[in-house]
Amino acid sequence: MKKWVGLGLSCLLLTGCWDERQLKDKNIIFGVGIDAPSKGEVTLTYTIPQSGNESQPAFTKQVVSATGRTVRESASKIDHKVGASTEVGKIRVVLLSKESVQQDIYSLLDAFYRNASSPLNAKIIITEGEAESFFRNELEGEPLYSNYYASMIKSAESLTQVPKTNIQLFASPLLDEGEDAMAPLIKFNKEEKVAEVTGTALFHNKHMVEELSVAETTVLLLMKDEKGKEALLTFPVEKEESITIQVEKMKRKMNVHVPKDGPVTVDLSYQLSYRVTDYPPDHLEDKKVVKKVNKKLSDQIEQSMDKTMDKIKEANSDVLGIGRKVNAKDPDRFKQLKWETAYPNVNVKIHVKAELIESGITF
């Protein structure tokens, strides 16, 4: 009797695989493209890889597209084409055409948020032109397209050229009254058979409203205190000469003032230390020259931040999350302000102090 009781208790301790998914019976998807030129029409594109080995690297085996009324219906149609159900848990990139996100982008991502298998770390990328074409165009020397786009965006993130975002991170500002979302923007160069980062797409009310260049994005990310591993800035300092610097360290102070009457005021102050990577005039061993360059760069960075701030306010895209801070400080006043109309009138004061810490090796 004791033997049977012991056996029964042992069975209770065994782990089961009630939710296992046999990947050998599925088509694993690494890349997704979404094109929705009009409401009720969604073209979904999947890239299906062929696994590699030591002698043969992994490559894109198949690119399949289907059009339906929703993302899920389009996915079902793809399943019918490939002869087996698809597994989305390994998706690395989701490409959406710029034309598609002029409408409600959330409706195109809703299926991912509802699926427990969705890869929340997949990169969201906005494309110039149809997203489908980015998987069908030939890429020079790139066998696995999804890896190429994911690596390109990760590199741009580390260089402070595009914001760090993915399916999970994108949702919070997209659905927040006090903050707006943004995502990397890329285009395809058919002549060179490569894609290139062109900047950042800004959103408001779940649709794209403006875009920033790579240089403007770097300035914005510094304003947000979201510097990657490296951040390069280039400004004119002499009549025909420019300087390129690398921002090493930066401190930001952001004070939000919410008066009972009148517009919100924001004070942004930055202290950054930099090293010079390119400056032909040199003579940076001279304290007077260094002082002059520091002042010039402080003014140039401050002006760039002012211009970027004006641009995002004009687009009504609160990517700095000022509204969130106003809401946290005075929720009643935030509701009274009606942030949709109050944000463009926010008075933002920016002050920058740049200090040289390394002039670079000279001969």
What's the half-sphere exposure (Cβ side, CA atoms, 13 Å) at 243? 26
Distance CA 147, CA 92 (A): 7
- Is 333 inside any structural domain? yes
288 and 194 together in one domain: no
pLDDT at position 363 is: 47
Q: Given a cut of 70, is residue 7 above it in pLDDT?
A: no
Report the mean per-residue pLDDT for the chain.
Answer: 88
Where among 202, 225, 248 does a domain terminate? 225
Asked if 215 contacts 198 with a C-beta cutoff of 8 angstroms, the reply is no
Residue 216 is assigned to a structural domain of this protein: yes
Question: Which residue, 225, 252, 278, sits at the end of a domain?
Answer: 225
105 shares a domain with 199: yes
Q: Are the CB atoms for 28 and 48 separated by under 8 Å?
A: yes
50-59, 133-142, 265-274: range with lowest mean pLDDT: 50-59
In a domain, 19, yes or no: no
Residue 53 pLDDT greater than 70, yes or no = no
Range of the domain at 137: 24-225
Q: Flag whether 201 is in a domain.
A: yes
d(CA 283, CA 285) in angstroms, rounded, equals 5
Statement: residue 174 has pLDDT above 50: yes
Are residues 218 and 240 both part of a single domain?
no
| pLDDT tens-digit readout, 257-290 | 999 888 999 999 999 999 988 877 777 777 888 8
Tell me how many domains the chain contains.
Answer: 2
Residue 84 located in a structural domain: yes
pLDDT of 141: 78
217 and 250 share a domain?
no
Pair (75, 34) in one structural domain: yes
Give the model's confidence band at 8: pLDDT under 50 very low, under 70 low, under 90 confident, else very high: low
Cα 164 to Cα 181: distance, rounded to the nearest angstrom: 11
The reply to whether 180 and 258 lie within a common domain is no
Q: Output the pTM of the full model.
A: 0.88
In percent, the amount of the chain with pLDDT more than 90 equals 65
- CATH number, residue 293: 3.30.300.210
Region 51-73: what's the mean pLDDT? 74
Contact of 37 with 99, CB cutoff 8 Å? yes
- Are residue 171 and residue 152 in the same domain, yes or no? yes
Confidence of residue 80 (pLDDT cuts 50, 70, 90): confident
pLDDT band at 2 (very low <50, low <70, confident <90, very high): low
Tell me whether residue 10 is in a domain.
no
Are 175 and 267 within one domain?
no
Per-residue pLDDT, 56: 53
Judged against a pLDDT cut of 70, whether residue 16 lies above it is answered with no
Strand, helix or coil at 94?
Answer: strand
Is 9 inside any structural domain?
no
Task: Give the mean pLDDT of 19-35.
Answer: 72
> Is the pLDDT reported for residue 54 higher than 80?
no
Instruction: Please tell me the predicted confidence (pLDDT) of residue 82.
Output: 79
329 and 198 within one domain: no
Boundary residue ending a domain (225, 258, 291) = 225
Query: Which pLDDT score is estimated for 23?
Result: 45
On whether residue 2 sits in a domain, the answer given is no
Question: Measured between alpha carbons, how far is 149 from 170 in angstroms, rounded to an integer?
Answer: 18
My answer on whether 217 and 325 are in the same domain is: no
Do both 82 and 152 map to the same domain?
yes
What gap in Å lies between CA 264 and CA 143, rounded to an integer? 52
Q: How many Å apart are CA 359 and CA 355, to the nearest integer?
A: 11
Residues 357 and 317 in one domain: yes
* pLDDT tens per residue across span 201-260: 999 999 999 999 999 999 999 999 999 999 999 998 777 788 899 999 999 999 999 998
